[in-house]
Structure 1
């Protein structure tokens, strides 16, 4: 992102702003009730504009981190949960992007080292395993489509041997239920980007 140019104020601009501020001060002191009402409205409008601008800079996360068991979450809640873990651990630009056409990504982020990454979330029952086809989808999209440096698949279950072998070969990190539990408890080494 290119750096913003600093705005330079001319002498005339400063003089006009100072004159307007003086005239506003004189009018408010002459009309204190109406002036206080107008100042309150201007303050509320400035606050609303600041909130809208700030919201554009914050991660797109809709709900606060729930201390619930990931196995009891819906797939959407699980994606939000993983996004919150990323934010908690110092990631920036975290976005939940899962959906019908997510192209193998449910959470996009920039890790604490400044590298873009993605998570494919698989909230499965403990008896079900994540297969090789999911690793292949992520491998086919994370670099070229999503422009990420690394990718991971995070599940509440485990991975098949074929999925583990293929992920190891292509460098995709797999986070099973045990590693997810360690990550949720704050162990930095269990985070998908480590």
Structure 2
């Protein structure tokens, strides 16, 4: 059967540029605040601290409102998706879907890195307890075999040391793959994905 996960390299942008593009709004906000602080310091050199404090408070408030609005929008989008729609997603859309699930359920610094140069990992983030997490996503029409799980174990032991692993598979894992991943990573099979999407069970990375 066809592998629909993202390994075809359709996104030709370098990883650094993708990072800048995904965080463009935050970067613009930082630039605006920096200009405001610089202007205020120039106009009020005798009493700069109140201006700096006001700018930081304003920037924090804008960031918080924007974040809450974004999360609310993602929650509404998730509510419209069920497993039948997941089965029709291309690999890149499934990666974005998993990233959205992570953000809505308490993960932070979530970034989709899938592509030709993803190093064997599709999504990076931090669990609610602060643990760094590297996620592999497979939107396949059949269960994931053990060689794919072994590949992620190898990636975690080389290029992503210090990260805990999570493997999300829309059609689950073979018994051999489940045994292979036990103790090394969190495996999210089809039933686990359904519970995650329903908000009844949020997967966590294994403890260090």
Question: Following the alignment from structure 2 to structure 1, what is the Cα–Cα distance between the partners of residues 47 and 164?
Answer: 54
Deviation at 1:143, TM superposition (A): 4.2
Deviation at 1:94, TM superposition (A): 0.2
User: Which of structures 1 and 2 has the bigger CA Rg?
Assistant: 1
**1:74 and 2:106 correspond:** no
Of 97, 110, 122, 2:126 maps to 110
Contact 1:111–1:117 (CA under 8 A) maintained in structure 2? yes
Residues 1-194 of structure 1: pairs in structure 2 closer than 5 A: 13-14=45-46, 64=74, 65-66=77-78, 67-68=80-81, 69-125=85-141, 128-168=142-182, 170-188=183-201, 190-193=202-205
Contact 1:104–1:142 (CA under 8 A) maintained in structure 2? no
| Aligned length, in residue pairs | 143
Question: Following the alignment from structure 2 to structure 1, what is the Cα–Cα distance between the partners of residues 106 and 115?
Answer: 25
Q: After superposition, what is the alpha-carbon deviation per residue over 1:135-192, rounded to whole angstroms, capped at 9, x for unaligned?
A: 1111111243123431111111021122111111x5222111111000111123x414
Question: Following the alignment from structure 1 to structure 2, what is the Cα–Cα distance between the partners of residues 115 and 97?
Answer: 18
Q: If the length of structure 2 is used for normalisation, what is the TM-score?
A: 0.59
Question: Following the alignment from structure 1 to structure 2, what is the Cα–Cα distance between the partners of residues 151 and 93?
Answer: 16
Contact 1:71–1:123 (CA under 8 A) maintained in structure 2? yes
What's the Cα RMSD here?
3.2
Q: If the length of structure 1 is used for normalisation, what is the TM-score?
A: 0.63
Contact 1:135–1:172 (CA under 8 A) maintained in structure 2? no
For the residue of structure 1 that corresponds to 2:87, the secondary structure is helix
Question: Following the alignment from structure 2 to structure 1, what is the Cα–Cα distance between the partners of residues 192 and 114?
Answer: 22
Deviation at 1:129, TM superposition (A): 1.3
Q: After superposition, what is the alpha-carbon deviation per residue over 1:17-57, rounded to whole angstroms, capped at 9, x for unaligned?
A: xxxxxxxxxxxxxxxxxxxxxxxxxxxxxxxxx7xx96xx9
Deviation at 1:193, TM superposition (A): 2.5
Question: Following the alignment from structure 1 to structure 2, what is the Cα–Cα distance between the partners of residues 172 and 100?
Answer: 23
Structure 2 residues not aligned, in runs of 5+: 1-37, 49-58
| Shift in CA distance, 192/76, structure 1 to aligned 2, threshold 3 Å | farther
| Shift in CA distance, 191/121, structure 1 to aligned 2, threshold 3 Å | same
Contact 1:116–1:147 (CA under 8 A) maintained in structure 2? no
Deviation at 1:119, TM superposition (A): 1.1
Show structure 1 runs of 4+ deviating over 4 A.
none
